[in-house]
Amino acid sequence: MAVKLVEETPYRFRIDPVDGMRVPGVVFASRRLLPDLSNDQALTQVANVATLPGVVEASYAMPDVHWGYGFPIGGVCATDIDRGGVVSPGGVGFDISCGVRLYTCDLDRSRFAEVVGPVMDGLARVIPRGMGTGGVWTLSGRDQLDAVLRGGSRYAVERGHGVERDLDRCEDFGAVADADPSQVSERAAQRGMKSLGSLGSGNHFLEVQAVDAVLDERLAEAFGLRVNQICVMIHCGSRGLGHQICSDFVARMERVMPAYDIKVPDRQLACAPVTSPEGQAYLGAMAAAANYARANRQMLGQAARQVFEKETGRTLDLLYDISHNLAKIETHVVDGEERRLCVHRKGATRALPPGHPDLPPDLRDVPGVGQPVLIPGSMGTASYVLSGVEGGPAFASTCHGAGRALSRHQAARSVRGAELRRRLEAQGIAVRGASARGLAEETPEAYKDIDAVIEAAAGAGLARPVARLVPVGVVKG
């Protein structure tokens, strides 16, 4: 499908409907962040998503958009459930409920420098990472796994792995409703049995960070952030369990599309009506995987908390936990009326406005304070905390990270892992547990400029920047 961009504002571009598109495409980005059409088909994918049955308003792309499976990574679209709207596993992705959580610590950067060795060594010992390394919590069998799939972080906290605040400050208060473990295949279950509390590999990480700059004093105070404060950020998802669920349902939906008279321009957009048996089964399995991902981050956070308490005498308090690969049933106003929508966010995160009922209780009633938005950069560069804003576009969504500019293969050819490690350590970043190849694949040059991404997100009105954080220690697979 040929894609022609029309610039509406410096941070908003439009793709007019052609070739079966039911709605326009809208890309929130600056010119320098737009994908290179010669080697990145993300904008074609934006147009393809606009052909889905029941799609409303627009097919959206965030500032970090890049080529993905079916949907672009950094893609958002909503379908009208009561008007034939579909759900597409490709619109969620393989790492279901991959997300970010951020802890704050009452510890200054200067004090952390005195204990960086013991803290990073302790984290390296307790944080499983890489492929096939096991997890913090080995489950006893399918019954206990199903309890995790239903209860998420709540189940972990009930078993002593955390505190009540961890639930108040987690999206969906720790667990997605309507999870249906019976829709999780035995193969998916086996892949999740020994991985609970593990980072995995790729761009997943645990970073110790320092607040480098406060960009909005009032919001930073509401979030408990101050300059030079130490924080811990964790980025991971549902591991092999979520990957298998996506694989299972892509195949299943591809088989049933003819029965619903659905045709898509790319088989990776395989889908079924939200109200169909296949659609409901996928949503139940997806919610179960989301709860696994919440529990996964909860277990990793609790392991990090114990290391900090032992080595620094300080605890970690959860600021927020947010997912960026989900389809959620939400109510939004479209064409002047409230509609029930299935909102796909793939490599995109919610950015709820001030006063929204899904906000944590202690933030909900603070005027002008929206949902904490966590946007990690690449290894060796800054990450950001933002806040949701009133009237944010794209169904109150924003970007999820810097966005890849090079494939992992291209990145690995551009730098040697040992050289990158030396460079990071020369910048004052302690590195633990990463293979040379894994490091090279995640070199900062493989990603877009995070500062430019945040500038575009703010310029497009997606969210308001609150604080900039820089890494001082990283644990990777």
The one-letter amino acid at 80: D
Angle, nearest 10°, between helix axes 277-312 and 142-158?
A: 50
379 annotated among ligand-binding-site residues: yes
291 annotated among ligand-binding-site residues: no
377 annotated among ligand-binding-site residues: yes
Query: What token pair was written down for 158?
Result: 């009930």
Mean pLDDT of 265-291: 98
Residues 6+ apart with CB under 8 A from 159: none
Q: What is the pLDDT of residues 304-332, one digit of tens each?
A: 999 999 999 999 999 999 999 999 999 99
Instruction: Answer whether 300's CB lies under 8 Å from 196's CB.
Output: no
60 to 14, 217, 229, 319, 403: CA distances (angstroms): 9, 31, 35, 28, 15
Residue 420 has pLDDT above 90, yes or no: no
203 annotated among ligand-binding-site residues: yes
Query: What token pair was written down for 389?
Result: 């804003």
Residue 381 has pLDDT above 70, yes or no: yes
204 annotated among ligand-binding-site residues: yes
Q: Which of 410, 428, 9, 44 is nearest to 210 (CA)?
A: 428
Q: Where are the beta strands (DSSP E) in 25-126?
A: 25-27, 55-66, 73-80, 86-87, 99-108
Residue 132 has pLDDT above 80, yes or no: no
The answer to which of 72-76, 201-205, 441-445 has the lowest mean pLDDT is 441-445
Alpha helices of 88-163 — where are they, by DSSP H? 109-126, 142-158
pLDDT at 321: 98
325 annotated among ligand-binding-site residues: yes
Does 3.90.550.10 match the CATH number of domain 5-133+197-243+316-405+447-476? no
pLDDT at 1: 66
pLDDT at 44: 96
Mean pLDDT of the chain: 94
Count other C-beta atoms under 10 Å from residue 86's C-beta.
29
- How far is it, in rounded angstroms, from Cα 244 to Cα 48? 24
pLDDT at 45: 97
Query: Mind telling me the catalytic residues?
Result: 400
Residue 477 has pLDDT above 80, yes or no: no
401 annotated among ligand-binding-site residues: yes
118 annotated among ligand-binding-site residues: no
Mean pLDDT of 377-406: 92
324 annotated among ligand-binding-site residues: yes
Partners of 179 in beta bridges: none
Instruction: Answer whether 257's CB lies under 8 Å from 76's CB.
Output: no
For residues 1 and 65, which has the higher predicted lDDT (pLDDT)? 65
pLDDT at 303: 97
476 annotated among ligand-binding-site residues: yes
Q: Which of 258, 323, 250 is nearest to 281 (CA)?
A: 250
Q: What is the pTM of this model?
A: 0.96
Count other C-beta atoms under 10 Å from residue 419's C-beta.
13
Q: What is the pLDDT of residues 203-247, one digit of tens each?
A: 899 999 999 999 999 999 999 999 999 999 999 999 999 999 999
62 annotated among ligand-binding-site residues: no
403 annotated among ligand-binding-site residues: yes
378 annotated among ligand-binding-site residues: yes
Q: What is the pLDDT of residues 17-61, one digit of tens each?
A: 999 999 999 999 999 999 887 788 999 999 999 999 999 999 999
